[in-house]
Structure formats: C-alpha cells, structure tokens
Structure 1
Amino acid sequence: MRRRVLRCRDATVLGIEDDLMVPEAPEGMVVVGDGALMAALTRSRGARMRDIVATIQRHQDEAIRASSRGVTEITGGPGTGKTVVALHRAAYLLYADRRRYESGGILVVGPSAAYTAYIERVLPSLGEDSVTLRSLGDVVGGLTAVRLDPAAVAAIKGSLRIRRVLSRAARDLPPAAPTALRAMVGGIPIRIDPPQLHRIRAEILRHHQHNQGRDAARTALAEAAWRQVHDGEREEFLDRFREHRDVEAFIKAWWPALDPREVLLWLADESRLASYAQGVLDPEQQRLLSASLQTALTTGTWSVADVALIDDLSSRLGIAPPEPEEERGFYEIEELDNVGRYGVSEVEVSGTSAQVAPTFQITPQDARERLLQGTIGERGEYAHVLVDEAQDLSPMQWRMLGRRGRTASWTVVGDAAQSSWDDAAEAATARDEAFGAKARQRFHMDTNYRNAREIFDTAAELIRTVMPDADIPNAVRETGVYPVRRTVPSEALVAAVITATRELLEEVDGSVAVIAPDVHRASLAEVTGLDDRVVLIDPMSTKGLEYDATVIVDPAAITAESAGGARVTYVALTRAAHRMTVLEVAP
C-alpha cells in the first residue's frame, strides 16, 4: 500500500515521507509528505472543502504561522491552495493567541454564498467554531443578498464616486416630509418657512448623524420659534413648544428615524436621483442606477453591490433609536371586547387564559416590505479580518470591510489575474485606506495543486493574451487527458451541454459543474436533473470553488458579459481538477 522512508541524522529523525503504492489511499490510512499531497489531489471533489491539514507544504506552513500583526497578503494563481492556507492561518491565530482573537472575533469574508457553503466545514474540522463566516452579500447584519448586478451597474455602485450621491441622499428630506411648520403655541401663531428649516437642518447635520439629531432638531425649532415671540417667560414657552401635539407631529414627519435601506430606495425615483447625481453620473448611468433599484423593488431582493451602499448610508445616518411606545390607558382593556380591529378572528376563554387565533401573516408579502424586513443593527468590529478572492472587491466593499477592521489584523488572499473589478488602482486606494498604516508581509504560492497540467495549460494560454504578466503557477499533476473542445450551433447548445455532462458523469466519480453565462442559464436548467452531482452555476459564483469536471458553456459570452472580461473566463477554465469540456457557440 505504501512505503515509508525515514530521513535521519544519527538517532534523530529529520523527516518522514510516504510513497503511496496505489492510486488512492484506503479509507482511514494516514499518508505523510508528498505522498499525502498527491493522494489528496487525486480524490474526488465533494460539495464541501475537506480539511487537508496533512497535505500542507513547508512554504504554505510559513504563511500559516507568520506574525499575527499587521496585514498578511497571500498571493498566487489558481489552485495554489491560498484559501486552505488562509483558513488554517485563522485556526492557528486562535490557537496561538486565543484570548485576543476569540474575544475580538475573526471575520472570514468570501465572494459568494456558494463559497461559504463550500468552506464552512473546514474551520470546525480544525477545532475552531468561533469564526464568523460571511459572503459579501451577508456582511451587514440583517441583510442577505445573492443577486448580481449587470457589469455596468456593478461598476457604478462599486466606485467611490457613488459616495457623493449617497451623501446628498442622506442629507435630503424624506419624500413625504412637510416643508413648513405652522402651529399655534399658547395662542401665538408660529411660522417657520422652508429656507429657515433648510438652514436648521444643515446646521444640525454638521454636528450629528441624522438618526441621533432629532432632539437637537426639536431644540433648534424651539429656539427659532422663540425668536419670533420674545414675549413672556422663555423657558415656559420652550416647554410648551416642545410638548405641543402639532409640533411633535411635525418633527416626526420632518425628522423621522431613517432606515439606510429606505434611503437607498429613494434612488429608484429618477427625479430624486438626478438631483443627487448631478455632476457625478451622466444621464445613462443615472438611468442604469435607477433601474437597478426599481429591480430591487420589483423582485424584493437586494443585489450584492447594494449591501456596501447600505452600509455606507448606515454609517452616515447612524443607528435609529427605537421609537418610544405609546402609553396605554386602563380604559383600553374594555376595547378588547371588539377584537376584530386587531386582526384577531376569535378569542376563546379556557380556564384563566385566552386563546387567540390571529388572521395575519408575519412573512412580508409585499416586495418593498421584504427589502425592509428586520433591522440594521450596530456594526461589529473584529480582531482579525480574513478576505478571500480579494481582487474582486470594489472600492465600496473595501470601505465596508474597513469599518469592521479598524484595529484588526488582516489576512488577504488574491490573484490579480482573476479579478472581476476593472479599476485596480481605485480598489488599491480603498484597500490601503482599510488597512491604514499597518505593517505588511507577503507570501507567494506558485504551485497549482488543483488542475491537471493539460487543463491549466488551456487556461494559461487564454490569460496570457490579456495579461502577459499574469501570475502563472506550475501545475504539478498530469493525467494525459486533454480538454475537449467543441463548436456547436446555438440551436443545438442545450443538447450539446446535456451530452457533454453525461459523458463527464461517466468519467469522474465526483462533482460536475456546468458553468454558463446569464444568457444561457435559464435554458440549461434541466441539466441539474441528470444527477445529484451536477450543478449549474454562473462564472462569478465559481470563485474559490473546484470540481472534478466542468462544462464551460460559450466562453465568448462569459467574457462579454463580465466586468472582468477574459479574467472571469480564466476563472471558469481553472475550476476543474480532472476533466473539462469547452463548448463554443458558432457565430
């Protein structure tokens, strides 16, 4: 089964190496050294990443055990084990300095929900279950987003210039807010007109976040009213003003607590957006942005890019304080005789307790209600932040993570050649702001353990055409089986995908991914019914994942629809460990 070689100096064992004598180690057999590595590489891929601690190589271990301070960058091409190294590093940090990292917490951020589902078992298998694992669509508490915007819209939402648009929105009046105050206080007419209200609002927002500014607004309005009166006792008048029912109603409407999600939805209004985006976005960009928020209102779902915008607005508005509950009079108990008005269909008395049968549903049925369900709470900060596929983060997403890691140490994993964000310079600026002045150390992984050489050569050929200086790792494994390339007419594409998937199911024991662009995925839905091992997935959601075999559907369309262009196609071409079929569509 195996041959174990001991390297010794006198009576000291310097190293142990197992040579595996069979293609795959039997279940339960522990294999040490490169033999363990090659055994792990030939195994079938499952739905979750395995703990491969026994296959960690020396250069990877150096990154795992590096100093915990500052920023640790782990770079390398596809399949080089960057993610495994980073996750083992998180476990090592908890082991080496548990008091610091367990109390402060470790946040692990990946590109997609599919990614987090894939890696969720790794840290528990290493004995660590105190890590917070989030996709980019889950970073903000109370939100979950998986929908991806079209490339042009994602570029608008991800760029730092959108902050000027959000700043103007956060300072604006709510749509239904009154524009003037009229009240009769102590028999004296009070009138505060729009220009004065505007000045009061601007002055308060210079010193307060909106959601912490209502008391200051009430005080400022009272002082403005007193300047109109100047008669009688000042404090007596101010008290009357603050407690006046009409004034209180005005303040609630003029200065309501604002949910950042609601403010973002104001951008669906083209006229409002035009005023916020003047000098920032051109008319076509405004149209795209407004349409994207209208899509949210239609579907009841946020996009992944929206989450960073909501977080930005939340930092501007502050956390909304809870509204005080209205006091209930004792006489209201009598009104329970008529319970229909409270949405209750029946009250049955049994012993001393009332059995109430409600007729309402708690789950929101309206799309807008689904968008605003729950609350956006306080933002947590962490002792360590681990970011995988970091090359894909937009500048706005870097700012979102930076708010959670102001005093944290960082582990950042990425490869520029796989980037889906087009403006690398702007992203680098936002990333550096998130890191601050922390010291940095870098580790480079240069061996591709995932792809057979025959598969990776195909991917490397593509990426060199657009990035001659791409970080190309060395694929260490050969199978003698080359990728299959076929060109098919568009009307025969579905049949060709089904055929290719069936062929791969016969050739591999593990997972088969059909990686297809948006334009084709709806027509390919039936492919998942071929076998439980088949998954239909978009190219961006394959980030960080691997499969035994892949069917790459219409690579030209993948390139055309992605902000990262050929870099995203490169990602798709590097997901297969053993077999790959590429289906090109005839022009």
Structure 2
Amino acid sequence: MPAHVTNVTDPLDRERAHLASSRAALRAMRADAESLDIKDVTANWVNAVILQRQIEERITALADLAHTPLFFGRLDYLHAPGAEQAEGAEGEQFYIGRRHVHDAVGDPMVIDWRAPVSQPFYRASKKEPMDVRLRRRFGYTGGELTAYEDEDLTDAAAGDRASRLLQSEIERPRVGPMRDIVATIQPEQDEIVRAGIGGTVCVQGAPGTGKTAVGLHRVAYLLYAHRERLARTGTLVIGPNRSFLHYIEQVLPALGELNVAQATVDDLVAHVEVRGTDSAAAARLKGDARMAEVLRRAVRAGVTMPVEPVIVARGSRRWRVPAYEIEEMVRELLARDIRYGAAREALPQRIAHAVLVRMEEAGEAPDDRVQDAVARNAAVKAAVKTIWPAVDPAKLVLRLLSDAEFLAEHADGVLEEDEQREVLWARPARGVKSAAWSAADAVLVDEAMDLVARTPSLGHVVLDEAQDLSPMQYRAVGRRCTTGSATILGDLAQGTTPWATASWEQALAHLGKPDAAVEELTQGFRVPREVIAYASRLLPAIAPGLAEATSVREAAGDFAVREVAAGELDAAVVAACREALGREGSIGLIAADDRIAVLGGLLVAAGLPYLAPGEESSAEARLTLVPASLAKGLEYDYVVLDEPAAVVAGEPDERTGLRRLYVALTRAVSGLTVLHAEPLPERLAASDTP
C-alpha cells in the first residue's frame, strides 16, 4: 500500500484514501499541463500551434470525470513483475484504471489498463495465476467507492468463484450512450483486444457478446502500444449509420483517446451527392464484386495506341520517337496494371527518356533536368493527352450507368444482358435534367477513383456491423487499410441487407485481408438468458450452423410475450411503455418502420416524451422510438417490441425479415415485452413461450 495511506486501518477507508490521493495527483498532472509555457521552446509559429494543440489535448485527456471510477481493480503480485525478488520479500501492488496517474515524484498511483502489468487483471485465474496473489475489484455508486471484493489466486483448491461485483457491473442499467467495459473485459475478449497490430482480426459475435466494445477497446489498446506509428498513419472507426456512431462516440474519449475518426461507409465514398435510391436487385448488382472488373475495363477504355511519332524540338535540333516505340511503352504500362493516373504520369517520362537516349547517342550529355523539360514539352504533352487521356471517375461512372452501349462493351462476359439492363439508370422523368446518384453508385465512383489514383491507407480501421456490406463496399473499406490492419466486427445472423455476406471468408477476401484470423464470441453479457434463448429459436432459419449464444448473466430478465386483440395493440404498446418507464434505465420501443409515425402520435397523445435513435436520454426523456431498420448495434434496459410480424413483413423477403426481427429481439439488457395481434413467426410460436 502506498505510504501516504498506510496510517488508515480500515481496508475500505484505505482504498478511499488512495482514491482521493489519486484524484489529487491527477489534478496536479492536469495543472502541470495547463501551466506549460511554450513561447520560448518552439522554432516557428507552425510548431507553436501544433505543440499548443497537443497540450490542449493532453489537458482534456487528464480530465477527472466525477462519475467515472479512476480505478476499478487492484493486483497484488507475488513478486515484482520483470525483476528478481529476494526470498521473503513482498511483491508489488498496482491499481488498475482507465489512465495512468503518478504522484509528484513520478511513482505510479494508477496503472493504465492497457499496460502489460495490467493484463493479469483480465487473464489470471487460479489455474493460471500469472504470479498474482490477490485480485481486488471495486464497486462504486455515483462515483463513490462503496465496496470491494477479493479473489485469492493462490488457493487453487477453492475453485473459481463468480465475482458478485463483476456480475453487478455487467447487469448495471444502461442510460445514455454506450460506455466502456474496461472493468469487465473477459479473457476471451482481452485476447482480441491485445492482439498485435500486424494482423487483421475478424470477430463473429452473437448479440450481447460485446463485439463492438471489444473493437473500440482494441483501438484504444493499439493507440497505447503503437502511438507514434498510428499518430502518423491514423485510425478510423466505421459504423453502419450516424445514430450508431453517436451511440458509441463517448467510449474512446472516456479512455483518454480523442483523435480517432468515426464515419459511415457512405461518408467514405461521398464524392457525389446521393439523392436517388436503387431497387434491391439493382443495388445488389451494383454491389457485386464483378463491377470492379467492369470499371477497370471502362477506365482503361480511353487508352489508344499511337499512330504518329512524337517529334521534340530542342534548340536547332529535332528528336523523333517513332510510334511503334511509344506503343511498346503503352503496352508495357498496361501490362503492369498500375493505377491509371500513375501510368499516365509515367508515359511522358518514358518518352522523354527515349529522347535522352538519342541525345546521348548523338554525343550530348543531358541530365535529369533535361528529361523533366522534355516530359513537359508541348509535343509530348499533346501525344499523352491523345494516347492516355485524363479520366474523371464520376463522369466515367455516369456514362457507364446511362449509356447502354458503353456498359455492354465493358460488361461483356461479366454481366448478363438482363443484369446490364438492371444496373442502367432509368430515363429521367420529364422536367428532370438527369437521374440521381444512389448510395451504390457512390461506391462505384470510389472504386473508379482508386483505379485512377491510389486511396491513402490508414494504420488501423475498425469496421462494425460488417455483415451488411456489399462486396464493393468491402473493397471501399479495404482500400483504406491496404498497408494497415483492421478489426472486423459482425454477426452473420444479423445480416439484413439484400447483399449481406454469406461467410466471413468471402467478406475478408473482398476486403483484401484473406489471411485474417476469425474469432467467435458466444458468451453474452448484455442480453438476459431467457431473451437470448427465445431469439435463438430463429437461428436455424437465418444462420444455419452458427453457434447459439449463451448468457453469463445470473438474472433471467423480465420477459413476456403478450397477444392482444387487433384493435387493442396501440393501447397495449402505450401501456407497456408507461410500465417500463416506472423502472430504472433506458427504454426502447422498436417497431416496423412504417409504424413509427403512428406510434409517435400515440406517445405524444399519451404525454410520453420520446427520443429518436442516437439522441441522448435524460431524466425527462428515457424512451426512444426506434425504427427496426436502425435498431442494430443499439441497446436499452427495457425493450417493447411492437408486432413482430410487421417487422418481418417490412423486408423484401422472409429470411431478411426474420434477421431484422432477431436484431430487434436482442436489444434488451434487462427486460423485453413482445406485443402482437398478428400470429407470431412459426419458430417463435412454440407452446413454451412465456
């Protein structure tokens, strides 16, 4: 125990004293950062601005959040980690928290959860104690330390006993945005979090297994372990929609990481204004990986072989490069299959080099400056413009989708004739100048842009809800991490798009990471036991062969399925919401998209204020009205599910509808009430339904 609290005898009081001392030390660290004077240490104003921004970020990261525990655990080692220990000497003691805190002389008071010395907090067991004598967990109420629980790892005969504080933390009500899970990370989760940066990891996780939290904590860990590298190359978290990103946006800042960008796939490919929509068939085809070959052909379609020589005038002399020689250059560049734009930039240099060879043969001694000048010569530039014309990716895709002959020329042998007709834009209505770009079209433009010029690569990308991406969207994400690594998160059973991936092997191949390790999480920490068992009845129909999740939660959860008369459904839904509001925590009313407007009017009439997905709940508004299409990735303490049959019917086919229903059923943390007037889907209508 640190010297400044040894005079306190009660164990809980000692821990509270250490917490108070640690908070004081954190305030001192922040005060030191605020007092830094940089006016005499920077060479110029640019360095001053950069350094000042770094200081401001440091100050923000050192904020003491009153309701966020500064540390949540303690490790008492048998020996000093990484050092020889004299016989009979006591091992060291470390407090594990969200960030590192040190005292005035630099001694650690709290160790960052990502540090190697903290790893046994998540991995140690009585079977493998990892040199830990005692693991202590702390319980908090409103930011105040109120309890602790010890686990003696030296007594292997006693067996592992479930932690009551750990169970309590897992089952604590959810209010507001998603929170971090640093206090409850399980061994199988920690293995994924601490996996090396060199490889890509794909996490198949059933609902409630914490895959999203694992992905976010993995980013935080990698930033800790490889900060300089990722500061140069960047990190990115990709989510399915803005509501989801808003829901998770506070997790990384709570862990002290402020510079991780967040985006949707649509954000990544926002090169054109999206105002149109595709039919499911057209969107599926435009997302098909075969479109990459069609685009590759179309991009190169403008390259033509020269028919005339290039004559370069320099001073009184003329230098001639024959057409056949330039054709050899063009064919060699095409065979190398490099980016269109890079090849176009290389061609004038190749022609200029041929001119320099002729100069040297004539006894001249040209240098690189002469070659650059020849490459910029008007005759060379004119020849390159004709042979290898510039390509505007958006205009190219526009032509491909609106010109049947152009599409047929480049889709020959790739797309069938009926498929070509499906992807072509319909003729604009009278008075409309042109058809509108769709989300799938924007992905095609992004592909074309990469064919012309390489997309910059980031150091690490996290892709959540990955099962819903099309092959072309996977390619778009993969372009952002060609030289970096990725963490792919998803659940095949929750794929609700017409182009949802059939297997992770296919998805990873499209992403460009075929060698990624696939890890499966099946232990559920969020969804109550009875709820996940009920939802899992759908698995044989929506994801045959996928392992069923098992809940580690001791509480079964409040769960009820109620059939009501057709004319009483609306009133029953309002009553169920009112009942749920009498409990602690957040409430989600999930319904088919076309029921949202009706239910919103009913809630207003009943005097029940509600939020839209992504809006932060408060004491005055804890009820969120959630369209089924936006429920994925969100969680609520209590869920009221309106008319499952309508959720299924809202999708283009039954399998997709059942997957959408599976998502809706698994959003509950503490309780689920299913209300229906229409018959339930067959697999949910068993006689043992509550």
Indicate whether the TM-score tops 0.5: yes
Classify the secondary structure of the residue corresponding to 1:155: helix
Q: Is the 8 A contact 2:559 2:673 kept in 1?
A: no
Whichever residue aligns with residue 290 of structure 2, its letter is R
Distance 1:466 1:411, change over 3 A: closer
Whichever residue aligns with residue 631 of structure 2, its letter is T
What is the CA deviation profile of residues 68-115 of structure 1, one whole-angstrom value per residue up to 9, with x for unaligned ones? Answer: 321223332110111111111111111112111221112222222222
The alpha carbon displacement at 1:400 in A equals: 1.4
The equivalent position to 2:475 in structure 1, one of 389, 399, 409, is 399
User: CA–CA distance in 2 between the matches of 1:43 and 1:103?
Assistant: 38
The equivalent position to 1:306 in structure 2, one of 415, 428, 441, is 441
Classify the secondary structure of the residue corresponding to 1:412: strand
User: CA–CA distance in 2 between the matches of 1:125 and 1:146?
Assistant: 36
User: CA–CA distance in 2 between the matches of 1:268 and 1:487?
Assistant: 49
User: CA–CA distance in 2 between the matches of 1:557 and 1:516?
Assistant: 8
- The corresponding residue for 1:226 is none
- The corresponding residue for 1:117 is 246
Q: Is the 8 A contact 2:200 2:513 kept in 1?
A: no
Classify the secondary structure of the residue corresponding to 1:85: helix
- The corresponding residue for 1:315 is 450
TM value normalised by structure 1: 0.66
Whichever residue aligns with residue 269 of structure 1, its letter is S
User: CA–CA distance in 2 between the matches of 1:543 and 1:146?
Assistant: 24
What pairs with 1:361-380 in structure 2 (closer than 5 Å)? 379-380=455-456
Q: Which has the higher contact order (CA 8 A, sep 6+)?
A: 1
The equivalent position to 1:157 in structure 2, one of 286, 290, 303, is 286
Whichever residue aligns with residue 264 of structure 1, its letter is V
Q: Which runs of 5+ in 1 are unaligned?
A: 174-199, 220-238, 319-377
The alpha carbon displacement at 1:253 in A equals: 12
- The corresponding residue for 2:641 is 551
Distance 1:403 1:214, change over 3 A: closer
Classify the secondary structure of the residue corresponding to 1:581: strand
- The corresponding residue for 1:481 is 558
Q: Is the 8 A contact 1:268 1:294 kept in 2?
A: no
Whichever residue aligns with residue 569 of structure 1, its letter is L
Whichever residue aligns with residue 392 of structure 1, its letter is D
- The corresponding residue for 1:133 is 262
- The corresponding residue for 1:182 is none
Distance 1:265 1:31, change over 3 A: farther
The equivalent position to 1:260 in structure 2, one of 386, 390, 393, is 393
What is the CA deviation profile of residues 254-276 of structure 1, one whole-angstrom value per residue up to 9, with x for unaligned ones? Answer: 99855433433335536355555
- The corresponding residue for 2:100 is none
Work out the number of aligned pairs and report it. 481
User: CA–CA distance in 2 between the matches of 1:30 and 1:399?
Assistant: 50
Distance 1:427 1:454, change over 3 A: closer
Q: Which runs of 5+ in 2 are unaligned?
A: 1-10, 16-72, 79-87, 92-132, 150-162, 303-328, 350-373, 612-621, 680-690
The equivalent position to 2:223 in structure 1, one of 86, 94, 98, is 94
Classify the secondary structure of the residue corresponding to 2:188: helix
1:541 matched to 2:630? The reply is yes
Q: Is the 8 A contact 2:587 2:623 kept in 1?
A: yes
- The corresponding residue for 1:578 is 670
- The corresponding residue for 1:235 is none
1:431 matched to 2:508? The reply is yes
- The corresponding residue for 1:16 is 136
Distance 1:380 1:129, change over 3 A: farther
Distance 1:563 1:556, change over 3 A: closer
Classify the secondary structure of the residue corresponding to 1:103: helix
Q: Is the 8 A contact 1:454 1:482 kept in 2?
A: yes
Distance 1:45 1:428, change over 3 A: same
1:531 matched to 2:660? The reply is no
User: CA–CA distance in 2 between the matches of 1:121 and 1:470?
Assistant: 32
TM value normalised by structure 2: 0.58
User: CA–CA distance in 2 between the matches of 1:536 and 1:146?
Assistant: 26
Whichever residue aligns with residue 241 of structure 2, its letter is S
4-13 vs 127-136, which moves further: 4-13
- The corresponding residue for 2:538 is 462
Q: RMSD of aligned C-alpha atoms?
A: 4.9
Paired-residue identity, %: 34
Whichever residue aligns with residue 314 of structure 1, its letter is M
Whichever residue aligns with residue 317 of structure 1, its letter is V
Q: Is the 8 A contact 1:137 1:143 kept in 2?
A: no
What is the CA deviation profile of residues 418-461 of structure 1, one whole-angstrom value per residue up to 9, with x for unaligned ones? Answer: 233657468634523544475x4454323211112222222111
Q: Is the 8 A contact 2:176 2:586 kept in 1?
A: no
Q: Is the 8 A contact 1:552 1:573 kept in 2?
A: no
What pairs with 1:471-510 in structure 2 (closer than 5 Å)? 471-475=547-551, 476-479=553-556, 481-486=558-563, 489=566, 497-498=573-574, 500-507=576-583, 509-510=585-586
What is the CA deviation profile of residues 231-264 of structure 1, one whole-angstrom value per residue up to 9, with x for unaligned ones? Answer: xxxxxxxx9xx979xx99x999999855433433
Distance 1:541 1:144, change over 3 A: farther
Whichever residue aligns with residue 415 of structure 1, its letter is D
Classify the secondary structure of the residue corresponding to 1:53: coil
